[in-house]
Amino acid sequence: MAAGKISMAITPHGAEEDEGPRPLVRHYQAQELVPSRRPLLHNLLDKQLSAWASVQAVSGVLSFGLGLVFASTAEFSSFLLIVLRVPFLNGALFFIAGLLSNLLHREPRLLPVCFRANLACVASAAVGVVIMCVDLALVTDKDAHKKTEILVMCVTLVQMILSGLLTIWIHREQKRMKIPA
């Protein structure tokens, strides 16, 4: 076995040669970077999921409020939108799905529940848009109420697109993590 006596003392930068031999290593430099451990749901959270979920929750509150305004200003039996309570159902579903999506960064176990909630939102919004289209085709008068119903339909379409996007992202993350849907 070979042995060597090498001084490991570190000399200040710019030391004179007459002070003794210089150390073999002047500074440490890592040869290989060790990647940090990626958190769960990294791909999903990298898409700013909290911001999208907050928009989803706020649009649910907006839908509920527009439905309340529409129901208080129109006759109850004249619009299918009010009779079937489409904006109230959509508003509540979107608010709950937005809250669940917002909690995903803390509780990754909510991923399947969040997927089902967003899927229910897409289905509910699609049915609501169909009901509003039928409602707009049947009602010929009441121009001011038609404008409000078109506004509710536009909000519902935006909600449907948003939930569809979140559903696709969550489904991809479930596939990547191999979680059953």
Q: How far apart are CA 33 and CA 142, in angstroms?
A: 68
- Tokens 């409020």 — which residue? 65
Q: Which of 4-18, 40-54, 146-160 has the lowest mean pLDDT?
A: 4-18
Per-residue pLDDT tens digits for 68-123: 887 888 776 777 777 778 888 899 999 999 999 888 878 888 888 999 999 999 99
Q: How high is the pLDDT of residue 96?
A: 94
22 pLDDT band, cuts 50/70/90, is low
The answer to whether the CB of 52 falls within 8 A of the CB of 159 is no
Q: Treating both helix axes as pointing N-terminal to C-terminal, what angle do 86-102 and 143-177 enclose, rounded to 10 degrees? A: 30
Q: How high is the pLDDT of residue 93?
A: 93
Q: How far apart are CA 161 and CA 174, in angstroms?
A: 20
- In this prediction the pTM is 0.70
Per-residue pLDDT tens digits for 134-159: 888 887 777 777 888 888 889 889 98
CA-wise closest residue to 170 among 114, 117, 131:
114
What is the three-class DSSP state of 10? coil
Q: How high is the pLDDT of residue 38?
A: 64
Q: How far apart are CA 180 and CA 159, in angstroms?
A: 25
Q: Give the rounded distance of the alpha carbon of 166 from its chain centre.
A: 6
